[in-house]
A = this chain, B = another copy of it.
Amino acid sequence: MGSGSKDTQQPKELPIVLVHRLPSIDFPPNSFRHRLRSHFHILDPHESPEPYDSFLSRHAHSIRALITFGPAPISAELLEPLPFLELVVATSAGVNHIDLPACRSRGIVVTNASFAFAEDVADCAVGLLIDVLRRISAADRFVRGRLWPVNKTFPLGFKLGGRRVGIVGMGSIGSEVAKRLSAFGCSIAYTSRNKKESVSFPFYANVSDLVTDSDVLILCCSLTEETYHIVDKDVMSALGKEGVIINVGRGSLIEEKALVQSLVQGEIGGAGLDVYEKEGDAPKELFGLDNVVLSPHSAVATPESFEALFQLTVGNLEAFFSNKPLVSVVSN
């Protein structure tokens, strides 16, 4: 290199990005932190010995973009000491931990990561559904528990093909679920904020209408004020004794107490759950049921998803700093 141009010799000043996270929750895996630092000047208050408030007020004048990891809430109070903030980059598909009205009133744009996660979450939704209907986890328990040589036969499952699947939320995740389940011979219908012109499956105006024509409900929508407890006791009653619920959205989409009761009393057929009202644990009343499959909010958890998340995060931030269109804006 010897006589390279001045442009390449002089290190560029990297754009500043504030990291917002709970002290206990680190960056996602895949050397995310290290790789972000090659693109941006990362400010992480939890890495600094300085008190949080003083760190923030010292840097506030230069903070135009914030990246948030995990479920750390973004409230109006948090935004207050950041008068120049223009962009919040969420690293999750759901953005229920972000005060969207507060962002709107401040003119702050929010991006999310459902593009990065859509395929993996859809795979997991389909996996949970096959598992519940065909009793795969229960079968695995049966074999490992050495019951096969004793009981000889294992209870029959239910065929996937021909089931009427109602998808709640036909965004990037819902569309991937629909594509997959069509190949199994399921019939698909959906409800969503609005009918999507690009989607040919039958649209229902709300969950109450959708459930009357569904054997299976799959929840892939955002958690908002409108979708909080969108699946309640009445929806479960309408789903009926052979009906199955899959939730890969957020726990509070379902009235969990009623769900537990319906499952324990056999009022619905089964459930595959990746998310729960209380993040970090599942209702223990379900631990003895064979028609339930429980996963620890791991629907997004593949190296490929996290790589896609990294690319999407960098893509949004680079677009922002070079005044190009953002990749995944949340409509707000």
Contacts and interface: CB of A to CB of B under 8 A. Distances in A.
Interface residues of A, number: 54
B294 A144 contact: yes
Nearest to A274: B139
Contacts of A264: none
Contact of A184 (B131, B137, B180): B180
Interface string A125-164: 0111011001111011111101011001010111111100
A321 to B, nearest CB: 30
A78 interface: no
Contacts of A149: 280-281
A148 B284 CA distance: 12
Contacts of A128: 136
Interface stretch (A104-112, A204-212, A302-310): A302-310
Interface stretch (A116-124, A165-173, A223-231, A251-259): A116-124
21 contacts: A123-B130, A123-B159, A123-B184, A127-B127, A130-B130, A131-B136, A134-B302, A136-B136, A136-B295, A137-B141, A140-B295, A141-B141, A142-B296, A143-B282, A143-B295, A148-B282, A152-B280, A158-B302, A158-B303, A159-B305, A180-B180
